Structure 1
């Protein structure tokens, strides 16, 4: 971030993850300490203009006097300076720590007693343990004949993945596959290898927040277009999350490319995070027509495709409708089988795969070979794994909708076509402040602006409906409830206190 920029209140609030729960003391002191730490770590650049006291108070769900006092404490320490007409700016301290990002990974390894709704990650399927039990030394014998460094991936795994794409109607050879340590590494490689700082990248609004973080870290100029999942949902979730042909994303892209030339377009056509929607056939054709006509490079992120709730599963890749060599498609086994299985891939042209593999060598010479052998086994059981996960998600979705219909009848959502979370609208309520208030009561939840390139969707929350608590106490009567049930009373109380979007 340029030191002369003003950081939006919504983004600053996400950087301040956990600031009011780290220890005893008055809120102004805790807030001042958290702001000082951000400056020392380099998460907010020296010279950055802080939000107005009113705006930050609204985003944090605290009184304006709390923010005024915190700013005053920092100014007394010489960490903040006020300039007439430009507000309050942080001053450098010289200390540099490890950046915290915008809190996307803050939930992993959280403290006991915290109800974590910031991630929709699921528990592993038993198929992972079964596949591991079936491996033997004979499976590893061929790999042991080499040095074990496979920057492109295990040949047998690459062949199986290529077969999957061919079966879906997208001609693919093994040398068009790069195996990665999960879909997040795949996304990082693409942002580092295909984008230069200052390049324009078109994203949906909202979109996957991990993609926003990776693109911002690369210095991309983000241009948001309406996502097919951005409209208001029904109260009961009676409509499934599929997009209509009249959605204006493709038309907006056509207008945009009449003025600028994006380096690439990032889309989630199969199952969209955070909305859970899926492109219908007409919508996919509309996107494909504009992308092909304008010759735009497309990154198709299908990380959530295997969590489709449809009996037919996810549709064929959008890349099958686009010219060869103009797409990079991301996939993973981590969402379907288990987050601990760090196995993803990129499908792209041979020159792009070579470029990304060379980049990958600088940070990671190979995914673990044993894990790739395990993936080979798991790919052979995809239909059974999909059916089991689909039944699990449907059951938990139905339970979550019953819960919300009774306890939060004024909230709105649209039944997702896939994924493990609901994109919930809190009509007239500031979801950013709701999330901050809930956090201070021990519930972590992600508000809508975290998924927006322009900090939009201030009345939205992403609510995972399928995740269970990590720790189970057989004597605890609450153990029968999932995270959403345990957190909902706190969320409702926080929403009542948060007030309207300002």
Structure 2
């Protein structure tokens, strides 16, 4: 299958095993947890038994018994002469990914990680309505986007240290529209796409619909394992890699600058285009510096940067963009014309006006989110002290590790007490990540505190579930 994990690397990922049970069971459980947490993707070849035993300093008999246990649980498959491979096929089904919900006023919705509109929106709408008169004599079709908006977006990149011309920008109807255009242009059905695990669920759904062959590489408690990501990229040689390096959704991690530079370098050798989702880049909450953009390391046109107004400004404003070479922008515009989907002139005018006051809007957003994050963290420490998580320095969510692999059951139980959640399996391939839950801090602090109290009560009474409270699928953002 072209992907493998070396014995020293797997031994480091497994860490020190406990000794309160037979060693082969502890080893099997440790490998199983790596698979369930998405850190070992589907179809990865494991080290030979002798190699892993030597790397871990244990007997080969123990590794053989552990592999046998994993085969019995359908976590790995083995073929004579080929080796042992991780396996998810037939064991789990991909989690449903709802994209729409009517919503209920009495429900605290923590499945949708999005902020309400800023106060500046209404003034931007008023001014944009006046600006619209300048464009009404035009057909209204602008496949590349409104010139003034492309200029504003190019200025944003230049201010971040990446010199950008408006010709390098195409305006889209949001980040998913951007990804759709890129897939149509650069990756046909059946081609490999490398993704992080966990990752943004709506992007996973779009990749599934496009027929992409997903290659997953897991994020650990500290974020990206640089050696593992670089090895996976070199081994799999995917057509595209979809990455969220800035305040990653859902984990909140920030990719180090060195790894960004290394990934760009390896992508040149593997002929892989890097689709970099920067939707959350403006939402740093603790004042620390953000690493340079991926595009600042790109000299060969391998990086396509995706941005959006949805997180820092408003989800109801369906405006996004792609920054890449001027040549690729023209090719993307041709795809957009073929698909017949573009961003409305009025939305683009509103976005352009909001970007004029971006410094004020974003500063207020950061203060709002920082206070709400702190309220959520305090509530979790008080009511669910056994859950583990790191406090993110930015973004919109806490990625919580639960006390047991009960994420999907807890989501159902919380429906009954009026809290809508997005469980860990929504963010991974093939139903993994059952020990995790995304908790966004995009709601007011009192709602977050009440939600955590309800979640704690539902966790305590998980086995005493009654009729489901909600019936609609959840919005994920």
1:343 deviates by 0.8
Give the counterpart of 1:279 among 255, 271, 292: 255
Equivalent residue, structure 2, for 1:117: 110
CA distance in 2, matches of 1:135, 1:360: 24
1:157 has 2:149 as partner: yes
Which of 372, 378, 382 is matched with 1:406 structurally?
Answer: 382
Quick check: 213-222 or 154-163, which moved more?
154-163
Q: How does 1:421-460 map to 2 (within 5 A)?
A: 421-460=397-436
1:133 is matched with which residue? 126
Q: Distance in 2 between matches of 1:144 and 1:489?
A: 52
2:453 corresponds in structure 1 to: 489
| Structure 2 match to 1:102 | 96
Structure 1 201/443 Cα, relative in aligned 2: closer, same or farther at 3 Å?
A: same
- Equivalent pair of 2:249/2:395 in contact (CA under 8 Å): yes
Partner of 1:204: 196
Q: Of 343, 347, 357, which aligns to 2:319?
A: 343
**TM value normalised by structure 1:** 0.69
Distance across 2 between alignment mates of 1:260 and 1:135: 47
Deviations, residues 52-81 of structure 1 (Å, cap 9, x unaligned): xx99xxxxxxxxxxxxxxxxxxxxxxxxxx
- For 1:376 and 1:146, the matched residues in 2 are separated by 18
Alignment partner of 1:214 is 2:214: no
Distance 1:258 1:465, change over 3 A: closer
Matches of 1:366 and 1:256, distance apart in 2: 35
Residue 216 of structure 1: how far off its partner (Å): 0.8
In structure 1, the partner of 2:139 is: 147
| 2:448 equivalent to 1:464 | no
> Secondary structure of 1:290's partner?
helix
Correspondence for 2:17: none
RMSD value over aligned CA atoms?
2.8
**Gaps in structure 1 of 5+ consecutive residues:** 1-9, 11-53, 56-85, 89-99, 233-242, 469-479
The Cα offsets for residues 401-434 of structure 1, whole Å up to 9 and x where unpaired, read as 1111111111111111222211011122411221
Compared CA separation, residues 299 and 277, structure 1 to 2 (3 A) = same
* Structure 2 residues not aligned, in runs of 5+: 1-35, 37-72, 75-88, 464-477
Q: Is the 8 A contact 1:117 1:444 kept in 2?
A: yes
Where in structure 2 are the equivalents of 1:163-182 lying within 5 Å? 163-182=155-174
Distance 1:391 1:398 in 2: 11
- In 1, the alpha carbon distance for the partners of 2:344 and 2:129 equals 16
TM-score normalized by the length of structure 2: 0.73
> Helix, strand or coil for the counterpart of 1:481?
helix
Q: Distance in 1 between matches of 2:90 and 2:119?
A: 56
The answer on whether the counterparts of 2:257 and 2:292 sit within 8 Å (CA) in structure 1 is no
Give aligned pairs, total. 376
